Amino acid sequence: MTGDGYLIEGAPATPETVRDIRNRITRFSRYHGATEDQTGDIALAVTEATTNVARHAYPSRSEGTLDLCSRVEDRTLTVVIRDFGVGLEAQGANGGLGLGLMLMAKLTASWDVEPANPGTRITLRFALTE
């Protein structure tokens, strides 16, 4: 982790990785001045997004990977999570993202979910208070 941002490439999409990412994003957001409430919201939203990758992106195989990039610019913390799995359309009605997406929408200043071909890219943005 650096002061400006960090990048995780090719991490296994596993529950262990989700825990590690939660710890890293908590440290990163605190380093950049997030309040305790903001840090909790950031950690929860990022955990939800990475958990969805671990559970849904790679249904036909036991292993897959994810990338995560975070940065702070103009008091906005941006986290981008990308998988290389089946994508949202292939997950269909059993994708399980409904409640997770609603939670991410509630906890973020803005968010996007888009196809990454292959996979899915989730961008979460959090406004950090001064």
Q: Average pLDDT over the chain, rounded to whole?
A: 88
Q: Is 123 exposed, middle or buried (0-12, 13-18, 19+ CB in 10 A)?
A: middle
Write the pLDDT tens digit of every residue in 52-89: 998 889 987 768 999 999 999 999 999 999 999 998 76
- pLDDT over 60 (residue 95): no
Q: What is the pTM of this model?
A: 0.88
Domains, the chain, ordered by start:
5-127 (3.30.565.10)
pLDDT band at 129 (very low <50, low <70, confident <90, very high): confident
Reading the block at residue 47, the tokens are: 């955990």
User: By C-alpha distance, which of 24, 55, 65 is closest to 42?
Assistant: 24
Alpha-carbon radius of gyration of the chain: 14
Percent of the chain at pLDDT exceeding 90: 68
